[in-house]
Amino acid sequence: MKEISFININKKRWSAFDDQISKKGSISPDDLASNYILLTDDLSYARTFYPESGVVSYLNSLSSKAHALLYRNKREKSNRLIGFWTTELPLTLYSARKDFLSALLIFVGAFLLGLVSSIGENDFVRVILGDAYVNMTLDNIAKGDPLGVYGMSNPLQMFFFIAYNNIRVSIIAFLFGVFTPLGTSIILVRNGIMVGAFLSFFFQFSLGEVSAMAVLLHGTIELSAIVLAGGAGILMGRSLLFPGTYSRKHQFVRGAVEGSKIIIGLIPFFILAAIIESYVTRHYNEMAVWLELAVIVVSFALIVFYFVIYPIIVHNNILKQKDYEQTTG
C-alpha cells in the first residue's frame, strides 16, 4: 500500500482518537484500550513500510499520549476492573504471544534436559532436588505412598505456603527480565530442569505414570503460569534491549507495566493451583483415573482458552471494528 493511501484510510480515525484523548475523560477505558491496540498496529506497519516518513513520528507521539492516559493512576471502578480482565489484559497477552512462546520453548528444553540427565544418575537428582527430599521420597516409595509429601502438611497451611511460593517465583522470573531476557531464562531453565529431574526420578522406580498424573493435577495450571510469568520477564527484557523508535527508558517502562499486568493476571491462577495442590493432589492414590483426567483436562482448557484463544478473539474483534470504520469512513 502506498503511504498516501495508508494515511487517507486511517487519518479520520487517528484524528478522532487524538481529539478524544486530548479532552481526557471523554473516552471509556475499553475504547481507549481498543483504539490503543489499533494505533500500535498502525505504528508497527508504518515503521516497516515507511520508516523515514513523518507518519511514524506522528503515530509515535499519538501512541505516547494514549499510553500515558491509559496507565495514569485513577480510581478503580467496577467496570474498569471488568474491562481489565475482558479487554486490557487479553490485549496485553496477545501482544506478548511471541514472548510466551519463547518462554515455553526454554522451559520445555530445560525439562527435557533434566529428564534425560537424571536417567541413571542419582547424584544429579540429589544435586537438583536435594538429599533430604530424595531420601524422604525413597522412604515414601517403600511405604507404598510415593507422593506422600503432598499429604504431610495441614491443607490450609500448605495452601498459603504454596500460593506464596509460586507467586514469589513468578515475580522473581519477571523481575529477572531487568537483566535482559537472559535473566528470566535462567529462572525458567532452573525450574524446567527441576521438573524433569523430579519425573525422571519416579520413572526409575516405574512410578512415572503415577507421578505425572499427580503432578499434572495442580501442575497444569501452576507450571503454565510460571511459563507465562517467564514470558512477562522476557517481554520486559526485550523492551530494554530493543526499544525501536522509542527511547530505551520509555520502552522499558512500557514493558515493565505490560509485564506487571500479566503477573497480576496470573495471581488468581496461582491461587487456584495452590487450592488443587493442597486439597486435591493429596488424594491422588484414592482418585479414579477419570476424575484425575477431568481435573487435568479442565485445567488445561482454562489456561488455553484465557491465555491463547480469548486474546485472539478480542484482538480479531478489534480488527473487525477497524475494518468496519475504514469501510464506513
pLDDT tens-digit readout, 44-54: 888 888 888 88
- Residue 29 pLDDT > 90, yes or no? no
Section 136-160 average pLDDT = 91
Which residue is associated with the grid cell 511459563?
Answer: 227
Cβ-defined contacts of 178-182 (< 8 Å, 24+): 178/236, 178/237, 178/240, 179/237, 180/237, 180/240, 180/241, 181/102, 181/233, 181/234, 181/237, 181/238, 181/241, 182/237
What is the Cα Rg of the chain in Å? 23
Section 210-237 average pLDDT = 95
Q: Provide the pLDDT for residue 328.
A: 63
pLDDT tens digit sequence for 76-92: 445 678 888 999 999 99
Q: What's the rounded Cα separation, in Å, for the pair 93 and 232?
A: 9
- Residue 216 pLDDT > 90, yes or no? yes
Q: How confident is the model at residue 243 (pLDDT cuts 50, 70, 90)?
A: confident
- Residue 115 pLDDT > 50, yes or no? yes
DSSP annotation of 109: H
* Average pLDDT taken over every residue of the chain: 88
Q: How confident is the model at residue 256 (pLDDT cuts 50, 70, 90)?
A: very high
- Residue 25 pLDDT > 60, yes or no? no
- Residue 23 pLDDT > 80, yes or no? no
Is residue 233 within 8 Å of residue 249, measured between CB atoms?
Answer: no
Ranking 158-167, 203-212, 245-254, 303-312 by mean pLDDT, the lowest is 245-254
Section 212-216 average pLDDT = 94
- Residue 203 pLDDT > 70, yes or no? yes
Q: Provide the pLDDT for residue 72.
A: 62
- Residue 220 pLDDT > 80, yes or no? yes
Q: Provide the pLDDT for residue 26.
A: 63
Q: What's the rounded Cα separation, in Å, for the pair 194 and 132?
A: 15
DSSP annotation of 206: T
- Residue 222 pLDDT > 80, yes or no? yes
> What percent of the chain stands above pLDDT 90?
53
CA 33 vs CA 97, 210, 253: distances in Å: 18, 45, 18
- Residue 161 pLDDT > 90, yes or no? yes
Section 184-192 average pLDDT = 95
Which residue is associated with the grid cell 478489534?
Answer: 318
